[in-house]
Amino acid sequence: MNEQISARTDWQAAIAAGHSLAMIVELGMLPSEIRQALSTEHAFFPLLVQPEVSHLNAEGPALIELSGQPYSKYAQLIEHLGNEAQHGWLGCRLDILELQKHLADALACRNTDGETLLIRSYAHNVLPILHTRQEQPWHTWLFGPIVNWWLPSSQGWQRVEGLALNDVPPYHPIELDQPLVDALGVDPHAQALVAELQVNAPEVFVSECHGDRLHQAGQALSQARGAGLTRQPDQYFYALYSLLGGRPISQNPQWPDILQRVEQHGQALAQVQAELDEASQG
């Protein structure tokens, strides 16, 4: 009860200060009828707007602006949304289009190998962990314009306090060092795999739960490493192709030869598999 009172107080303070208010939902986790009903009353501001992932924006995270509206409006909305689809609400000094760009930029991170990957930075099990890394140069950029962010948790609601800066610091990508990777407990490659499959082949998943889908993707990537693949692009393709095909590539009787071509001769697994598929069809 005290959390609800505090959340309502923050909401009212945001309205009084003229700050933007928005909730975050994952569109792909909403039933089509609920998504349709929401779209008739509210505008969606998708976060997957970068050209290389824009084809995912209809299924990925999006903002629903609630600036100037009473807290009761938000309370009514979340009653119709499943727990997996909603990731709380935030008050921010940016207008809605600036906030859209800010949070869209925050979906990209660099891993320990310098690769650029997608990260669910807005998620209730990710954002609080990012918030603890105040010594990192990206922390001030990420939380600079945020006043507060209320996230659902297993214990109720959690308040993440932003810096409420008037001027947003220059962009700095989120960088995943090993302690952060360990704390998140999620392979960013698994996140990218789930994001791609949710749009192109959601039927491969055995569950609607995002956590279960991450586990399924993580298992496929682990199988790729266990099969002897050492390069990340080959591991990713192995997992993707195996999930789409319904069985691990390593069950192919030709796997020893395939692995030799990839690991010893430096060929890409995707190219080797494409050649085998073409030969089998010919």
- pLDDT tens digits, 115-151: 787 888 998 888 999 999 999 999 999 999 999 999 9
Q: Is 25 helix (H, G, I), strand (E, B) or coil?
A: strand
What is the average pLDDT score of the chain?
88
Task: Give yes or no for residue 182 having a pLDDT over 90.
Answer: no
- How many angstroms separate the CA atoms of 24 and 40, rounded? 17
**How large is the C-alpha radius of gyration of the chain?**
21
Phi then psi for residue 241, to 5 deg, are: -65, -40
Measured distance CA(52)–CA(60) in Å, rounded: 14
* pLDDT tens digits along 52-82: 666 677 778 899 999 999 999 998 888 877 6
What is the Cα–Cα distance from 139 to 174, expressed in whole angstroms?
A: 8
Query: Is residue 49 predicted with pLDDT exceeding 90?
Result: no
Q: What is the mean pLDDT of residues 207-223?
A: 81
DSSP state of 194: H
- In our burial notation (b when 16+ CB lie closer than 10 A, e otherwise), range 187-206 reads bbbbbbbbbbbbbeeeebbe
pTM over 0.85: no
Report whether 63 contacts 23 (CB < 8 A): yes
Q: Position 42: which residue type?
A: H
